[in-house]
Amino acid sequence: MMRFKFHLTGILFFSFILAQEEVVILSKKVGWDIDVHENRFYEIFPDEKGFLNAQIIQLSKNKFRVSIIKEIRRKKRRVRRYINLKEFASLQNHVNMQPEFTEEARISMYKGMDFLRVAEIVYGIPKPQYVVVNHSEGKILKGSLIVAADNILHVQTPTNIEMVDLSDVDAMTYRTRMDEYDYLKPWLIGISGSAGFGLARLYNSQRSTIYNEYGVPRTDLKRYTEIYGIVLGLIFSSELFDAVSTLLTSADTIILSKAQYDKEKIK
């Protein structure tokens, strides 16, 4: 009997505690759960990176707990923020003063928000190609994008291969097409090979003639140098073609983070 009374007392106690914690509606415009779209439109919690949804729970007359579900590096996490009545009222007024989140408003809002489909865009970029990556830490990385997989960019720089997580990229400049100037390739191969041959001839003309043991000039060495020059020129032709096509092809810049999008919107 005593055990039964103890269990009953415990149930009543926890029921009282739970009754004090009530999920409250911030505004009729967002409802009980604030989803990711409503948060973007009304900018309720603009600084919460990876925001998925949130609830506001009233703990007492002057204390509220904001329970936020976030996705950080592909893992879901629950974080808690605490606000007072004044802060709650401020958020409430902020939402109520804005227009309704209609389907038209939703379509308009998502125009230009490439950061919402980062992986889809980056994986579809022609590779390899020269890119300029704006890092969220303020760094700028320039090099050839050779691989984009598992949300990681592999960028070949003059010294090594840099690996950058897509979540750390603010913006990237790239070429949407790389095949517009394929007709120039034969010409550039010919120019590059001829340049290699010409440099080899120039080298031979400035080098003293070498004779064999019979006093006959070693013309075979000159031919070897010329062939070597042509081969080097042909190898360099691919780099020359990449450089020329990169210069001639117009570049596009995509915004890959909410912070960068907000900066561009202010300008």
User: Where in the sequence is the domain holding 8, given as residue range(s)?
Assistant: 2-111
Q: Are residues 9 and 107 both part of a single domain? A: yes
Domain co-membership, 79 together with 92: yes
120 with 104, same domain: the answer is no
Q: Which residues of 32-67 are buried (b: 16+ CB within 10 A; e: fewer)?
A: eebeeebbbbbebbeebebbbebbbebeeeeebebe
Q: What CATH number did the domain enclosing 128 receive?
A: 2.30.30.100
Q: Is residue 256 part of a domain?
A: no
Question: In this predicted model, what pLDDT tens digit does every residue of 189-232 receive, in sequence order?
Answer: 888 888 888 888 888 888 777 776 767 777 777 888 888 888 88
Give the best-scoring range by mean pLDDT among 114-128, 141-155, 216-230.
141-155
Q: 67-71, 137-141, 259-263: lowest mean pLDDT where?
A: 259-263
Q: What is the mean pLDDT of residues 73-98?
A: 91
Share of the chain above pLDDT 70, in %: 75
Q: Are residues 140 and 171 in the same domain?
A: yes
Domain-embedded: residue 33: yes
Return d(Cα 217, Cα 211) in angstroms, integer: 4
How many domains would you assign to the chain?
3
**Whether residues 158 and 207 fall in one domain:** no
Same domain, 31 and 93: yes
Q: Are residues 91 and 12 in the same domain?
A: yes
Which of 111, 133, 168 is a domain's end point? 111
45 found inside a domain: yes
pLDDT tens for 236-257 read: 777 777 677 667 666 677 666 6
Q: Do 12 and 57 belong to one domain?
A: yes
The verdict on residue 135 lying in a domain is yes
Same domain? 163 vs 220: no
What's the pLDDT at 111?
67
For position 135, what pLDDT does the model report?
A: 82
Of the candidates 93, 95, 80, the residue with the CA atom closest to the CA atom of residue 39: 95
Arithmetic mean of pLDDT, 102-119: 70
Domain identity same for 190 and 166: no
144 and 93 co-located in one domain = no
- Residues 111-137: what's their mean pLDDT? 74
